[in-house]
Copies of this chain bind each other. A is one copy, B any other.
C-alpha cells in the first residue's frame, strides 16, 4: 500500500497569463482528495480562435475525478480567475468559497446562467479557515488591482502551501487592505513547503509602485484640462475608478460611469462595503445638459474592445455623448500584449476628432497590479518556503521566476499545465502528466479547442469556400451540369472569365469523362470533384479554397 502524498496540478495559468485553474490533492496516489484554486477565462482572438466567446482550461481530468473534488476556492474577482465558475458549475458541482466582494461577483455570474446563489459561500479572511477534506484553507488578504484579493494558506498533512494568487506589495492600495508584511511573514514562520507564486511581472526590474502614486498625477492632469475629460481603466480596478472620479470632482466636474462592467463593479463594491465614499454620479442622459468642460466620463474599454464605451466614443456618439476638438482622453491602463492594434485604432480615431490622448507611456497615470522582480524576491524571503513554484505566467515567465528563486538559494521548479508534481518530499517530483488544453465557449456550446470546429473556420477565413453540387440519375449518370457557389473568393480569375463558370466547366468536363466506377462511388466522386475545384481555383486565383461537395442521387 502506497503512502499518502501531496500533489500540485495546474490545468490552466501555468503556460499563459489567463484561464487560471490549479488543483491540489492529498491522499493515496490516484485517490487524493482534491481542491481547485481559481477557474478563470482567457479571451479569444482572430488568429487562433475566431468567433469564440470565451476560453477556459480543459477540466476533463477534474470531471473524471469529480467525486474526489472537495471545494473550489477563488482568490479574487478578475475574469481570468473567476470567469469560468458558472460555465463549469454543472460539471463540477463543488462548493465555491470566496471573500465577500469576489463572492458577490461569482454569484452574479451564477445568476446569469440560472444557477442558485447558494452555490457560492462567503469566506472570512485569515485567521478564519475552511476545512475541505484533508485541506484547511485560509484567505490571506493581499494587495492587487481589485478589492479583496487574497492569497491562500493551504494546510495539509504534508505541510503548508502558500498560493499567492495575483498580488503586489502595496502599502497604500487606496481601496482594500494594504500588503501586510508582518502577516505574511508570520504565515511563513512554521515552515512552508511550497510557495506557488504569481510570475506576471518577473521581467520588470524595479520595485512595483503604489496605487497611491497615480492619484496626484491624475488630479493634476484633469485639473489642467479644458474640454470634456474621458478616462478608461479596467472596471474592476475600483481604486483607480475612485481616483479618477475624485480627480473629476476636485476639478469641479460631474462624474459619469459608462459601460455595463463599470457600473456593475462600482455597484458590487458599494453593495459589499469595500467602497464607502464613491461620489454621486450622473446618468448619460443627465450629462447631456452639463457643459462639456464640467464633465468627467469614466468608461470601459481600456483594451480597445470594439463594443465598449471607449471604442464607441472614438467612432462617434455613445448614449448621446460625443467627443470633439480640445477634449482629453486618458488611458489609465496598460495595453495587454495582443491588444495594441485595437487600442491604437481608438487613439487614431480620437486624433481625427482633434481629441488629445494621454496614455501610460509617461509612466504617470498607471501602475501595475502585479509584483515586480524585487517584490517577488521579497515575497520569497518573507514566506521563506522550501520550494518556489511559479504560476500565472507564460513559459518564459515561469522559467525566469524559477531562476530567480534558485538565485535566492531556493528550489524553483517549472511545472506547466498538465504537470502533476508530488510535493511530499524535500524536493518536488514529477508524478505524472495529465491531458490539458482549452475549452471554447462558442455561442452557447462548449467545444474542445482541438475538435476542429475553429480550425475549419480559420481555413475558410484564409481560403474561402466553394460548394459543388452534382445530381446523378438512376443510372448514375450526371443529370444536367454541376454547379458551384463561391463565398469569399474573387469573382474573376486569371483567365478573365468568372471563376464560377470556369470551375463549373472544368467539373463538367471531368464528369463527362468519368466512368461508372467513379460515378457510382460517393467517396471517390467527392474526392475527385474537390480536387478539381481546388485545382481550378489554384490556377485561376493562386489559392485553394475549402470545398463542400453535395452529391444527390435520384434513386
Residues of A within 8 A of B (CB): 45-47, 50-51, 203, 337-338, 340-341, 344, 347-349, 351-352, 357, 361, 394-396, 399, 442-445, 447, 451, 453-454, 456-458, 460-465, 467, 469, 471, 479, 483, 485, 487-490, 492-494, 540-543, 546, 548, 550, 552, 554
Contact = CB atoms under 8 A, between A and B. Distances in A.
Contacts of A554: 479
Nearest to A344: B337
A395 B443 CA distance: 36
Contacts of A50: 46, 458, 461-462
Nearest to A487: B456
Nearest to A499: B445
B444 A341 contact: no
Q: Is the interface of A mostly helix, strand, loop or mixed?
A: mixed
A351 B396 CA distance: 5
Contact of A357 (B344, B348, B351, B396): B396
B467 A548 contact: yes
B445 A492 contact: yes
A471 B442 CA distance: 32
A47 B340 CA distance: 12
A351 B445 contact: no
Given A341-B45, A395-B352, A543 B51 contact: yes
A460 B453 contact: no
Given A46-B461, A456-B487, A542-B444, A550 B469 contact: yes
Nearest to A489: B453
A464 B451 CA distance: 14
Given A337-B341, A460-B461, A348 B395 contact: yes
Nearest to A462: B51
A464 B51 contact: yes
Contacts of A348: 394-396
A258 to B, nearest CB: 23
B460 A351 contact: no
A453 B486 CA distance: 10
B541 A351 contact: no
A541 B444 contact: yes
Contacts of A540: 445
A417 to B, nearest CB: 12
Given A347-B396, A493-B445, A487 B458 contact: no
Nearest to A442: B490
A493 B447 CA distance: 10
Contact of A340 (B338, B351, B442): B338
Nearest to A466: B548
Contacts of A399: 351
A117 B460 CA distance: 38
A454 B488 contact: yes
Given A46-B50, A340-B340, A460 B487 contact: yes
B487 A548 contact: yes
B340 A337 contact: yes
B490 A453 contact: yes
B445 A494 contact: yes
A139 to B, nearest CB: 32
A460 B465 contact: yes
A324 to B, nearest CB: 14
